[in-house]
Amino acid sequence: MKKLAFSLVILLIFTIFLLPSKNAAFASEGPSLNPNRILNVAHRGASGYAPEHTIPSYALGEKMKGDYIEVDLQMTKDGTLIAMHDERVDRTTDGTGYVKDMTLAEIKQLDAGSWFNEKYPEKAKAEYEGLQVPTLEEVIQEFGRGSRYYIETKSPEVYPGMEEELLRILNKYKLIGPNAPSSKVLIQSFSPESLLIVHSMNPNIPLVQLISYSKPATITDEELDEIAAYAIGIGASHTKIDEAYVQKVRQHDLLMHPYTVNTREDMEKVLDWGVTGMFTNYPDVLEEVLRER
């Protein structure tokens, strides 16, 4: 939280003149941004059942009634945004090295699915072997404007121009702009600098400030006011927050989307706390929980 307060002081000075009275997402509030409707966000797709950040994982997330496809972004050496959580390719492909040091052609040679079959043999499928790492454009081309996207700028300090390229693509496919519902795309980041760059380019895009806590979460009214100047919500680990934290966030008219909530027991608990949505590797389980409430 210290880095959040530290970084906002100067950046807010340069962006404050662009701020509406409240983020314009609520002015044209779509059903997915209604605080009374709990969001079911398929974390890296239905990643409890399929290799994360692959087309099959995203498709399964949609089939399991996820409201949003979550796409983590990294950027290749030649400036292409790809769907991957880590800065390195090692964990989720058969390759090694940093994304920033590899071209898209090199990324496309990697197998992004076989690791899942090896790690989770009980969930293995032959179709997962040899899956490619998708680009952001490929994800949008596959699922189109009928889907909703919850996009994270990962390690934006490593990738100059990431935000500009992201908005270029979203504009190209008409996912943002005057004719697009504000709830089609949410952009999240642990970096307030990255979110403020996005906000300066398009103040109508709903933003969510992610916060990492190494110990039980606390947040001040001042910090919440700072975040509310550019974002519509907060994301934090469900293991670090409690009911008091959630209620304090909600009192500032901010949405609360904890991550990553994978058991029915934890889903019920955070719902009782008053969260407005959550990330889960098992969107089918959350769908059942919500249907039964």
The residue among 167, 155, 160 whose CA lies nearest residue 84 is 155
Nearest to 289 by CA among 256, 260, 265, 257: 265
Annotation says 257 is catalytic = no
Angle at alpha carbon of residue 214, lines to 208 and 216, rounded to 5°? 85
Measured between alpha carbons, how far is 44 from 280 in angstroms, rounded to an integer?
A: 9
Structure tokens at 82: 């790809």
112 contact partners, CB below 8 Å, separation of at least 6: 51, 53, 54, 92, 93, 131, 132, 133
- Amino acid letter, residue 80: T
CA 260 to chain centre: 11
Among 43, 199, 238, 257, which one carries the catalytic annotation? 43
Beta bridge partners of 278: 40
Chain length of the chain = 293
| Token pair for 87 | 């800065």
How buried is residue 258: exposed, middle or buried, by Cβ count under 10 Å (0-12/13-18/19+)? buried
Quick one: tokens of 70?
């979550």
Give me the catalytic one of 53, 85, 238, 257.
85
Whether 238 is a known active-site residue: answer no
Catalytic residues: 43, 85
